[in-house]
Amino acid sequence: MSEMQNPYLMFLGDVGDQLGAKTAQGIVDWRPDWCIGQLRFKGCVADLGIRDISIGDAVAAGAKTMIVGIVNSGGFLPPHWISEIIEALDAGMDIASGLHIRLGDIPEIQEAAIRNGRALFDVRHPTHTIPTGKGTRRSGKRLLAVGTDCSVGKMYTALAIEKEMRDRGMNADFRATGQTGIFIAGSGISIDAVVADFISGAVEELAPDNDADHWDIIEGQGSLFHPSFAGVSLGLLHGAQADALVLCHEPTRTHMRGLPHQPLPDLLTCMELNLTAAKLTNPAAIFVGVAINTSGLAMDKRRDYLTALEDELGLPCMDPFKDGTAAIVDNLS
């Protein structure tokens, strides 16, 4: 897809809780300089911690795209939000959404976009034909975040690694594979909307040939051990052709997210299976670190847990939020 233009106006409507604005919050957390302000209706519970602003004032301040930065059950667009989206189009902004419903499938929005010559970005839906994966060796280097489960910090870890590398002057780019990541990167492919046969091809397209010293830091999805999403995880592993893997884990969980009957794998077993799959397209793939979300651990237990894990696995183990990712980046060849 073509790149969205920033700065952004973050549209929250009247979302009923903070979690409903997690997509918008992720953008504000990682790209604060791109976010001019938030637009909220009366009754909106969520707050991104940035200024409230009108469409007219946002455009005057340079906003190029209004982001519908919410998630909801069913991925629908509330009808009473449509007039505000049309007003933004009439004011000269593009519109981007990560919802399942396509903006262009709503006639009034499509007509307003055409009338104003503005773009609609439905980041969850690919807009072009994606080839099947080939597994042909590509130049450049790639790192993929993988997980023991869903929602264990793969996007956060990838972004933190990209930031650490860029702070060191290294040649690195975050490659987004989910809607929040796409908003943060400005481009990407939402892998959960790609037909299964083309997942590996989508990742090859997302991280193509590059300079020898360039690193693509690829956002992972799902887990090879999650019955619902293992197919997406496998396609990512094959398409990434990763030189380096980072395992992401949340240590307080007792079962797979959403599946009480499905136990979590132990970390070594998870690493072995991911490495076996990764070696199909890159026999030289290795693990370079483990990212642990320690928010559920008591402060006096956190360091002991990480130290014991480092001794067991022989890899740097850290919480990217609390410890950074310097030791993982140090471990890259």
Could you read off the pLDDT of 147-176 as tens digits, one per residue? 999 989 999 999 999 999 999 999 999 999
What CATH number is associated with residue 289? Answer: 3.40.50.300
DSSP β-ladder status, 120-122 and 94-97: parallel
- In this structure, the answer to whether residues 199 and 276 fall within a common structural domain is yes
- The sheet that has 286-292: what strands, in order across it? 172-175, 215-218, 141-147, 244-249, 286-292, 317-318
My answer on whether 197 and 294 are in the same domain is yes
Select from 93, 95, 19, 85 the least CA-distant residue to 62.
93
Q: 216 and 259 share a domain?
A: yes
- Residue at 195 is within a domain: yes
Q: Which domain holds residue 63?
A: 8-122
188 lies in the same domain as 43: no
Q: Is residue 237 part of a domain?
A: yes
pLDDT of residue 1: 47
Going by pLDDT thresholds of 50, 70 and 90, the confidence category of residue 276 is: very high
CA nearest neighbour of 327 among 295, 294, 292 = 292
Residue 110 belongs to some domain of the structure: yes
Same domain, yes or no: 291 and 154:
yes
Number of domains in the chain: 2
Q: Is residue 7 reached through a cis peptide bond, with omega within 30 degrees of 0 on the bond before it?
A: yes
Residue where one domain finishes, among candidates 122, 155, 173: 122
Share of the chain above pLDDT 90, in %: 83
Say if 291 falls within a structural domain.
yes
Residue 227 lies in a domain: yes
What is the per-residue pLDDT across 203-251, written as a single tens digit (0 to 9) for each? 999 999 999 999 999 999 999 999 999 999 999 999 999 999 999 999 9
Same domain, 81 and 145: no
Whether residue 253 contacts residue 226, with contact meaning beta carbons closer than 8 Å, is answered with no
User: Which residue, of 122, 151, 185, is where some domain finishes?
Assistant: 122
**128 in any annotated domain:** no
CATH of the domain at 70: 3.40.50.720
Same domain, 283 and 186: yes
Q: Considering the domain boundaries, does residue 103 fall inside one?
A: yes
**89 lies in a domain?**
yes
